Amino acid sequence: MNTLTYANIFTIGIAMLKAIIILIATVAGAGLLSWIERRVLGWWQDRYGPNRVGPFGIFQFGADMIKLFFKEDWTPPFADVFIFWLAPVIGMSALLFTMAVVPITPEWGITDSQVGLLFFLAMAGVAVYAVLFAGWASNSKYALLGGLRSAAQTLSYEVFMGIALMGVVMLANSFSLYTIIEAQKDGWFIVPQFLGFCAFVVAGVAVAHRSPFDLPEAEQELAAGFHTEYAGIKWAMFFVGEYVGVILVSALTVILFFGGWQEPALLGYKLWPDFLPVYPFIWFALKTSIFIMLFILIRAALPRPRYDQIMDAGWKFFLPLSLANLLITAAVILLQQPVAGGA
């Protein structure tokens, strides 16, 4: 009995240690990503990025964090104080909690939930409340317009994002992210689910409020949108939450369509020689980094479209595209099923 108790305590302790490490690494990576983005944007746009504070400007990230921590944390007297404070907490924690179901390697992950994909969709829906609360509680016209834009944008893009992922669920026959990765050991889902991949990436950019889908905070029209009245640590929580969304969407893209920690394999053929070692974490980190760079490249290359164009694209193009992908996937699966009563 004592041995079983000690074993349970040890297992719980290891799980808690993994959770703490993944949490700290995600938050630190999200903060460091702000420096990486500024450096990469400088290279791609042929201009200087941060290059004064430390080697390659690496200490600029620390200087910015110190400034935000000690900056005056002002709450407008006309705001709804409780909701005003609650909004950044939700904005940072909603997508951060989703990292609990993200498998990094076969051994490194907090939990193997059988509804991991549904949990991500649920937390993505919860994250929009942060923007709505911030827009409403700020009692500012710019913030309110940003919150309303976010609600409409999230409603349109999360609808087809969920539908786009159902093709992956049908192929893997599970909502578990571990099972989805294992189902791709002989071939990544990017080939049979290319339409779903395109729809998911666009929706992921919109859910993370990244350019060119950052209309809820468009500074040209709304000053700063839903977080116009925020400063100091509360603004930093929104800031870090956005980059957590970039990391999360990039990691899920790798898991759902590019085999997670699996070595390259397409159309039933392994592209990685069997005699070479496979390092799951390196594969996962490399693939995720590529999609993080894609987020930055989109910001560097694409202009911000009009708001009505964003909404039209969601409802009139990507929703039919994701529905077509779902119907095609279902038809192919049915055609591959053996005929009942056949030879």
Contacts of 310 (CB under 8 A, 6+ apart): 153, 206, 213, 215
| Amino acid letter, residue 166 | M
pLDDT over 70, % of the chain: 90
Q: Per the structure block, which two tokens stand in for 232?
A: 């100091």
The answer to the question of residue 223 being in a domain is yes
Helices (runs of H) and strands (runs of E) counted in the chain = 12, 2
Q: Is residue 11 part of a domain?
A: no
Under the banding of pLDDT at 50, 70 and 90, the label for residue 343 is very low
Asked if residue 98 lies in contact with residue 119, where contact means CB atoms within 8 angstroms, the answer is yes
The answer on pLDDT for 32 being more than 50 is yes
Cα(121)–Cα(98) distance, integer angstroms: 9
Distance CA 84, CA 81 (A): 5
Other beta carbons within 10 Å of 245: 25
Q: Which residue would you say has higher pLDDT here, 259 or 71?
A: 259
Domain membership flag for residue 134 = yes
For the chain, how many structural domains are there in total? 1
When comparing pLDDT for 272 and 198, which is higher?
A: 198
**Domain span including residue 89:** 74-334
Reported as a single tens digit per residue, the pLDDT across 273-323 is 666 666 788 888 899 999 998 888 888 777 777 777 888 888 888 889 999
Q: Is the pLDDT of residue 4 over 60?
A: no
In a domain, 46, yes or no: no
Please report whether residue 293 resides in a domain: yes
pTM of this structure: 0.84
Tens of pLDDT, residues 178-201:
999 988 887 888 888 899 999 999
Q: What is the pLDDT of residue 1?
A: 44
Residue 210 has pLDDT above 80, yes or no: no
Assigned domain for 12 exists: no
Q: Is residue 112 part of a domain?
A: yes
Would residue 114 count as lying in a domain? yes
**Given its phi and psi angles, is residue 108 left (phi above 0), alpha (psi -120 to 50 degrees) or beta?**
beta
